């Protein structure tokens, strides 16, 4: 395979190849802490770069609207079977192009235009697709929100119930992009049942932790579970939907012909490979290390005097309250970028700055764990971040940390990227 050095691409299109090469180097040299990112395996990279990208396959395996689908059918059957086994689900659709498309399809399989939905506030850890006004979810549905307790940083389930009784939503959405504690899907279902609502679980971030046994599952509680494949689950950039045999056909119809045309068969191949990887015992070990590393980072920040929302984490991410030491999230994000550490600014519960500035940074452990960081390296990362944030104007500190970042990452290869091939 030419995936390492891209020799053909470099010949055919030097400009695109050069930009890709620079990105490859960034991924190897830097410390990747964006909580929604990960490094896929070399096998997944290869699968996504195959001739399956040439194939149209509208429909489902065995029921396509195009000829010549016998081999891509095999691939999709593998992906469906594996993801059902991985999560213990009765039905799976692996065609959504992304997490957002998975959510759109899931909603429209059970809801109508204008129905009321109740989701977690974006500013307190939710996602755009959970009802934000600028998103389809806020434009097509009447969106209402629950939040987290500003003191503890935790979802207050009694308050969710109160809000649900007041709003009487057609659906409740449980799931988050920036929430570091266990989500109680069982409790969410009780609340949904009490007000006669459907429960949608969006496990985009924590899918890998659920698969790896580090977070309670939504299966059996939510009517429909939506996810991405590319966050903690470590698959290619894309989505999927899990439900039971009763609701399955409706979901399938909403994905296609409801809102998508031909599925991305090369990406579905990547999903099949990633799901197989997640079924191996080693993936449980990976999920455990992801949580241990996030907890090590959280403890290190707290020890060094930078508070973490809710005091720690149960999963792969933490929200660091950089505002409390006088730096905006935006400034922290920029400073850290200059030393090769990727994070993203994030609002925190009870935010006092604008969303653009924010008071927090979101830090995730999934990607660094994939490249082999343990708790020792994770503590070191928190230490480097603290050094930068405590001396933002000190050029000497920034230079030294840049070098430390390079030294640290040089010992930990990224899957699918050989240093020699950079």
Stretch touching ligand PLP by CB under 6 A, among 186-194, 201-209, 246-254, 326-334: 201-209
367 touches ligand PLP (CB under 6 A)? no
Mutual angle of helices 395-410 and 14-29, in 10-degree steps: 100
Number of residues that bind ligand PLP (CB under 6 A): 15
Q: Which residues contact 350 (CB under 8 A, 6 or more apart)?
A: 150
Q: Are the C-beta atoms of residues 85 and 279 closer than 8 Å to each other? A: yes
Distance CA 304, CA 51 (A): 51
Distance CA 23, CA 65 (A): 38
Stretch touching ligand PLP by CB under 6 A, among 3-11, 150-158, 200-208, 368-376: 200-208
95 touches ligand PLP (CB under 6 A)? no
Catalytic site includes residue 237: yes
| DSSP-derived secondary structure letter, 47 | H
Q: Are the C-beta atoms of residues 61 and 217 closer than 8 Å to each other? A: no
Distance CA 74, CA 400 (A): 52
Site string for ligand PLP, 123-162 (x = CB under 6 A): ----x-x---------------------------------
Stretch touching ligand PLP by CB under 6 A, among 8-16, 93-101, 309-317, 370-378: 93-101
Q: Are the C-beta atoms of residues 243 and 317 closer than 8 Å to each other? A: no
Catalytic site includes residue 193: no
In the block, tokens 């070098």 appear at 403
Other Cβ atoms closer than 10 A to 53: 12
In the block, tokens 């991305």 appear at 264
Distance CA 100, CA 137 (A): 10
Catalytic site includes residue 286: no
Catalytic site includes residue 132: no
Stretch touching ligand PLP by CB under 6 A, among 61-69, 170-178, 252-260, 267-275: 170-178
Q: Which of 32, 124, 202, 252 binds ligand PLP (CB under 6 A)?
A: 202
Question: What are the φ/ψ torsions at residue 264 (nearest 5 degrees)?
Answer: -85, 95
Cβ at position 137, least distance to ligand PLP in Å: 10
Site string for ligand PLP, 49-88 (x = CB under 6 A): ----------------------------------------
Buried b (16+ CB within 10 A) or exposed e, 24-35: beebbbbbbbbb
Which of the following is catalytic: 228, 254, 386, 409? 228
Catalytic site includes residue 289: no
Distance CA 35, CA 344 (A): 8
Q: Are the C-beta atoms of residues 197 and 172 closer than 8 Å to each other? A: yes
Which of the following is catalytic: 187, 237, 288, 304? 237
According to CB under 6 A, which residues from 100 to 129 bind ligand PLP? Answer: 100, 103, 127, 129
Stretch touching ligand PLP by CB under 6 A, among 99-107, 143-151, 314-322, 347-355: 99-107
Which of the following is catalytic: 42, 58, 149, 244? 58
177 touches ligand PLP (CB under 6 A)? yes
Which of the following is catalytic: 32, 76, 124, 202? 202
Catalytic site includes residue 202: yes
205 touches ligand PLP (CB under 6 A)? yes
Cβ at position 71, least distance to ligand PLP in Å: 27
| Residue 174 or 247 with smaller CB distance to ligand PLP | 174
Q: Are the C-beta atoms of residues 96 and 239 closer than 8 Å to each other? A: yes
**Cis amide prior to 375 (ω within 30 degrees):** no
Which of the following is catalytic: 3, 46, 50, 56? 56
Interface residues toward ligand PLP, by CB under 6 A:
36, 98-100, 103, 127, 129, 175-177, 202, 204-205, 228, 239
Q: Which residues are catalytic?
A: 56, 58, 202, 228, 231, 237
């Amino acid at each position: 395979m030419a995936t390492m050095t891209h020799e053909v691409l470099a010949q055919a299109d030097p400009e695109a190849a050069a930009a890709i090469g620079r990105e490859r180097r960034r991924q190897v040299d830097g410390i990747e802490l964006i909580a929604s990112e990960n490094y896929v395996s070399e096998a997944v990279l290869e699968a996504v770069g195959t001739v399956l990208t040439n194939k149209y396959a509208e429909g489902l395996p065995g029921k396509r609207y195009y000829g010549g689908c016998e081999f891509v059918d095999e691939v999709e059957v593998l992906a469906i079977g594996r993801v059902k086994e991985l999560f213990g689900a009765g039905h799976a659709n692996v065609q959504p192009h992304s997490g957002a498309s998975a959510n759109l399809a899931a909603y429209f399989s059970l809801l109508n235009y204008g129905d009321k939905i109740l989701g977690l506030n974006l500013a307190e850890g939710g996602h755009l697709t959970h009802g934000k006004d600028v998103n389809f979810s806020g434009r097509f549905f009447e969106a209402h929100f629950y939040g987290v307790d500003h003191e503890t940083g935790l979802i207050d389930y009694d308050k969710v119930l109160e809000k649900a009784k007041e709003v009487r939503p057609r659906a409740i959405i449980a799931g988050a992009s920036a929430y570091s504690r266990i989500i109680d899907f069982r409790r969410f279902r009780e609340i949904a049942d009490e007000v006669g609502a459907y429960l949608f679980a969006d496990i985009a971030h924590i899918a890998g932790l659920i698969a790896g046994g580090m977070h309670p599952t939504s299966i059996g509680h939510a009517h429909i579970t939506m996810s991405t494949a590319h966050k903690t689950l470590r698959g290619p950039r894309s989505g999927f939907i899990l439900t039971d045999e009763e609701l399955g056909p409706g979901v399938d119809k909403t994905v296609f012909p409801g809102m998508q045309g031909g599925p991305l068969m090369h990406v579905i191949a990547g999903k099949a490979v990633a799901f197989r990887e997640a079924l191996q015992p080693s993936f449980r070990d990976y999920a455990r290390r992801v949580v241990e590393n996030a907890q090590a980072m959280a403890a290190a920040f707290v020890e060094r005097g930078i508070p973490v929302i809710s005091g720690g984490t149960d999963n792969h991410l933490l929200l660091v309250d950089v505002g409390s030491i006088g730096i905006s999230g935006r400034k922290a994000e920029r400073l850290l970028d200059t030393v090769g550490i990727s994070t993203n600014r994030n609002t925190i519960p009870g935010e006092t700055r604008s969303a653009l500035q924010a008071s927090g940074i979101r830090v995730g452990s999934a990607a660094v764990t994939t490249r082999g960081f343990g708790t020792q390296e994770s503590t070191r990362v928190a230490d480097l971040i603290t050094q930068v944030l405590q001396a933002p104007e000190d050029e000497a500190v920034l230079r030294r940390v840049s070098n430390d970042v390079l030294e640290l990452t040089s010992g930990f290869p990224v899957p699918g990227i050989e240093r020699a091939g950079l």
